[in-house]
Structure 1
Amino acid sequence: MLRRLQEVPRHLLVCEKSNFGHDKSRHRHLVQTHYHNYRVSFLIPECAILSRELKSLVMEMGPYYVVKNLPLHELITHEFINTFVKKGSCYALTYNTNIDEDNTVALLPNGKLILSLDKDTYEETGLQGHPSRYSGRKVMKFIVSIDLMDLSNNPDSKKYGRTSWSLKEKKPLKFDFLLARHNAEESTMMSYFSSYQIQEHQPKVALSTLRDLQCPVLQSNALSGEPEASCSAPELFDWLGAVFSNVDLNNEPSSFISTYCCPQPSTIVAKAHLCTITGFILPEKICLLLERLCHYFNEPKLAPWVTLSVQGFADSPVSWRENEHGFQKGGEHLYNFVIFNNQDYWLQMAVGANDDCPP
């Protein structure tokens, strides 16, 4: 039994407190460097209907595109780099690939192309990289980082020629890709990839009103919780997961599904609004949503706090910045803001076993 307990993969939750008005607050940087997001949820207690401004922002989180069987070498051509990468805020991620089994690729807005390749593919490409940090004794995965901006500055260099030859002729690779840009003409990407099977998508939005919701009592200065005063940040994190998953929190003795209940102290909220957005959601859009939620308290509200939760793609090769991401048994990398009416906030960041500590 002890041996089995030791095999449970570790999960890491980092919690910190700050204020949006502080000069050294890093909330914007953290959002901007978590590049590939598939779900955004926010919960507003004591709210039955979203404001017009907030609902309008929610409905404008797209578009993004799915391109089928796109050759990887298309992402390193001078035309692609000049059209999309050099103009900034271009994102791409392989779709329907498993990080622990398949080759996966991510394009970051800084122009870095990150390849997570199995051993055979890595050796066939001949590209320079390094073993995955999570390969174990027998290295089965390798990470290759290609700086597209550097390649574009030296179009006639041997490095560019070798990289292009490697991906176009020596080891051609094709993937289904998710692609998106911030502040760009919608027709540009559709026309650029018109020779491939490309579809435009809008994120899916689900709005719901939760009635008689038992909510934990929170105080902004009690991050770790204080007896009889405030729920702690880790307890809130678990509770939010239960709410987002529509788990019954009644803790009935006859229930064999869930015995989880709301942490104490708690209070009953007559109405709470839950919004969930699912798709390929850019950090720039999340920054706008976070800012709008901060302004939610510009006028007096019954709610003492609101939350904004963001989940990254489980099979992205990176989590924050260029930090390598793995899966093993979880694959999670996510963060949550608790925004208080005095502009204080809690920030919670969680990763699984195959990840570095969050930034």
Structure 2
Amino acid sequence: MSTSFALSRRERKPKAYVARYAWPHDQGAPLRVVAGHHFNRQAEIFVPTAIYDTRLRYLPWFDGTECAKSTYYHTVTPPSSFLRPEFFNEYIKKQNCLVLSLTGIDSEDVFCICEGMLQMSLRKEIYQQSGLQGTQSAYSNSRFNVTYDLRKPSMLSGSSAFNRLFSALTALTEATPFLVCVFPTEGKSPPPPLPAFFNATLYEQSLDLSRASNVLVPPLDPYVSVPKLNKPIGENERKKFTAEVVSEGYMHLLEWISLLAVGSPRVTMRDKTRALISSYAVFDDSDLEFLPPSKKNGINIVKLTISGFLTSQMLTEMYNSVIDILHSDDWAIMAVYGFEDAPVSWGAEEHGFLVSGENDYMLVMRSKPAAVANENDSSNGTSKDVTVFEVVGSHDQHS
């Protein structure tokens, strides 16, 4: 069962949505968020130092071994290159590939390929010259979206539909910077290097580690912050009151994660920033009085940053690895940032930029002692839950 709030309802503003799920009963919901978001530039993992030193650092994604094996390419090439037989037949028809142009979604033509689907966001004049069939953008009268399923049985080299698309891309587009990730489908051997005509540069996913000391951690479950009322109120009023407190708690948690991500001293016990400069505080002074000593002085946290061109398959593996190692009273946070100029965000939903192109998500994973442990349960006698934040720009159909 999930609890969901829309944290912002104002039009033309970025929005944040939050839902909490029990694990493993509702584990499919967080996985759908991860698996449905294909174009990712960075992931950050936050865990207490004790968890990193004893467990996380020995896992493949976090000791650097998978980062070294999971490579991607940068190339400058015409979009029609991806329809040449050497690439089209090997990578689109047989293997999985992820392709994204590094162009501006507001002012240039943007291309991406995911799971065999070619999706283009074209300027109006380019669209009209191409002769391709598409639909007008939901956010601009001067842009059009064109989609082709390159894995359709009828989409073969030499077919009329293929030749029409290839001719349009050849005539209307110039050399464009692209990121390309090729990876095998399950059970298949690794794909060969990109064809030489791409003249591509190979990169590994980068892994960086940083540490923060004396970090104050707010309640990761805002429901524990709901105060008990001295006087009785009606059930509807109680529910409304609880929803407002919990919604504010989730907003505070999202703000804390954001400050933690940028390394702000405001989330540490040693912060001496004057209130005139910043009014943010993890806890009020009155709250600090009632905190146990173990939380009052903060804890040490490790931040792992993996950057490059990250597929949803990679991030699913990271998420599963992290939540599996959580024992009683453990927690971890995984923040993932999408490419702001990608033409889609989750699935095939149109994405734009305007003034903010956010398409990010955060997973807050918590583990606590189970009230009654099932003897056949393999989760170390604990229950877990996952809070999912989805941060979406105003020009995004996902919102």
Common fold, TM-score beyond 0.5? yes
Amino acid at match of 2:282: C
Q: After superposing the two structures, state which structure 1 stretch, 246-255 or 122-131, moved more.
A: 246-255
2:26, 2:308 → 1: CA distance?
32
SS at the partner of 1:87?
coil
Distance verdict in 2 for CA 1:134–1:50, change over 3 Å? farther
Q: Which of 306, 310, 327 is the equivalent residue of 2:353?
A: 327
Alignment of 1:135-214 (within 5 A): 135=140, 139-150=141-152, 153-168=155-170, 170-183=171-184, 188-190=192-194, 192=195, 194-214=196-216
* Residue of structure 2 in register with 1:357 after alignment: 398
SS at the partner of 1:15?
strand
Instruction: Give yes or no for the alignment of 1:22 onto 2:25.
Output: yes
* Residue of structure 2 in register with 1:92 after alignment: 99
Percent of pairs with identical residues: 23
1:115, 1:23 → 2: CA distance?
35
1:27, 1:180 → 2: CA distance?
24
* Residue of structure 1 in register with 2:373 after alignment: none
1:122, 1:263 → 2: CA distance?
54
Question: Structure 1: which 5+ runs fail to align?
Answer: 1-6
Contact 1:251 1:259 in 2 (8 A): no
SS at the partner of 1:42?
strand
Amino acid at match of 2:61: L
Shift of 1:54: 4.6
1:187, 1:146 → 2: CA distance?
23
SS at the partner of 1:297?
coil
Shift of 1:29: 2.2
2:398, 2:75 → 1: CA distance?
33
SS at the partner of 2:197?
coil
Amino acid at match of 1:64: Y
Q: Which of 279, 296, 301 is the equivalent residue of 1:259?
A: 279
Instruction: Give yes or no for the alignment of 1:13 onto 2:16.
Output: yes
1:330, 1:263 → 2: CA distance?
30
1:356, 1:287 → 2: CA distance?
23
Superimposed CA distance per residue, residues 23-75 of structure 1 (whole angstroms, 9 cap, x where no aligned partner)? 6732222211100000100111253636365553132132111012x111122
Shift of 1:219: 2.8
Shift of 1:189: 2.8
Contact 2:11 2:394 in 1 (8 A): no
- The two structures, once aligned, show a CA RMSD in angstroms of 2.8
Shift of 1:306: 0.9
* Residue of structure 1 in register with 2:61 after alignment: 57
Distance verdict in 2 for CA 1:154–1:67, change over 3 Å? closer
1:251, 1:327 → 2: CA distance?
36
Computing the radius of gyration over CA atoms, which structure comes out larger, 1 or 2?
A: 2
SS at the partner of 1:322?
coil
Shift of 1:270: 2.6
Q: TM-score, with normalisation over the residues of structure 2?
A: 0.77
Contact 1:210 1:272 in 2 (8 A): yes
Question: Structure 2: which 5+ runs fail to align?
Answer: 1-9, 229-244, 368-382
Alignment of 1:105-116 (within 5 A): 105-108=111-114, 110-116=115-121
1:210, 1:23 → 2: CA distance?
32
* Residue of structure 1 in register with 2:78 after alignment: 71
SS at the partner of 2:325?
helix
Distance verdict in 2 for CA 1:23–1:239, change over 3 Å? closer
* Residue of structure 2 in register with 1:345 after alignment: 386
Contact 1:81 1:149 in 2 (8 A): no
Shift of 1:186: 6.8
* Residue of structure 2 in register with 1:309 after alignment: 335
Q: Which of 269, 283, 286 is the equivalent residue of 2:315?
A: 286
2:153, 2:126 → 1: CA distance?
22
Distance verdict in 2 for CA 1:251–1:355, change over 3 Å? farther
Contact 2:357 2:393 in 1 (8 A): yes
Contact 1:9 1:329 in 2 (8 A): no
* Residue of structure 2 in register with 1:240 after alignment: 257
Amino acid at match of 2:273: E
Superimposed CA distance per residue, residues 113-152 of structure 1 (whole angstroms, 9 cap, x where no aligned partner)? 11111111111211111111111xxx11111111111266
Distance verdict in 2 for CA 1:340–1:87, change over 3 Å? farther
SS at the partner of 1:343?
strand
* Residue of structure 2 in register with 1:226 after alignment: 226
Distance verdict in 2 for CA 1:254–1:226, change over 3 Å? closer
Amino acid at match of 1:286: L
Amino acid at match of 2:87: F
Amino acid at match of 1:199: T
Shift of 1:15: 0.7
Shift of 1:175: 1.1
* Residue of structure 2 in register with 1:4 after alignment: none
SS at the partner of 2:282?
coil
Q: TM-score, with normalisation over the residues of structure 1?
A: 0.85
Contact 2:349 2:398 in 1 (8 A): no
Distance verdict in 2 for CA 1:213–1:125, change over 3 Å? same
Distance verdict in 2 for CA 1:156–1:196, change over 3 Å? closer
1:179, 1:155 → 2: CA distance?
21
1:112, 1:206 → 2: CA distance?
33
